[in-house]
């Protein structure tokens, strides 16, 4: 975080000086802030929108990045989720099978608890003003980009 400081080059001073890597939005920039007196600085002063758009990633790069994340985040139709198995014959050890079934039932209880908490109007941090319920740790999901479901393996 930063505060205004007229003695600093850009009028801002980091509050945590021994940690110069504070998140300030620079991680999305393609180039540094131009120095005063340079043609780039004059452009930024005269047309801030154009200067800003030259600083962030292009629309093509942004679209490519968003598309990549969306494609890699989709669940396939044959996805196997945590606590599930494709075949019931995956192990013959009875204590291990019982532990796995107990684990699967506990995951179902957790999903029920998440749904219950999402419906509780007292928990505003669950849904918020736009009514998007918390789903990240739902044990199961449907095919596609759902924002829920814990796959048995990660393929990214």
pLDDT of residue 35: 86
Question: What is the spatial distance between Cα 73 and Cα 148, in angstroms, rounded to a whole number?
Answer: 10
Give the three-class secondary structure for 29. strand
Task: Provide the 10 A C-beta neighbour count for residue 20.
Answer: 8
Domain assignment present for residue 81? The answer is yes
* Backbone CA torsion sign across 38, 56, 155, 140: positive
pLDDT of residue 155: 58
Over residues 128-141, the pLDDT tens digits come to: 677 778 887 788 77
- What is the H or E stretch that residue 102 is in? helix 94-119
Q: What is the mean pLDDT of the chain?
A: 79
Whole-model pTM: value is: 0.52
The domain in which residue 147 lies consists of 76-156
On whether both 38 and 110 belong to a single domain, the answer is no
Give the count of domains, the chain.
2
Bridge partners (DSSP) listed for residue 56: 29
């Amino acid at each position: 975080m930063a505060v205004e400081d007229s003695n600093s080059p850009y009028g801002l001073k980091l509050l945590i000086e021994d940690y110069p890597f504070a998140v300030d939005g620079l991680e999305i920039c393609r180039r540094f802030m131009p120095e005063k007196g340079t043609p780039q600085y004059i452009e930024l002063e005269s047309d801030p929108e154009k200067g800003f758009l030259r600083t962030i990633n292009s629309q093509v790069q942004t679209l490519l990045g968003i598309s990549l994340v969306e494609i890699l985040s989709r669940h396939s139709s044959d996805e196997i989720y945590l606590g599930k198995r494709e075949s019931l014959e995956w192990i013959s050890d009875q204590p291990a099978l019982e532990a796995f079934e107990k684990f699967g039932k506990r995951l179902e209880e957790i999903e029920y608890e998440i749904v219950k908490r999402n419906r509780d109007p007292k928990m505003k941090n669950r849904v918020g003003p736009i009514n998007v319920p918390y789903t990240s740790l739902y044990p199961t999901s449907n095919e596609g980009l759902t924002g829920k479901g814990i796959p048995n393996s990660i393929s990214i």
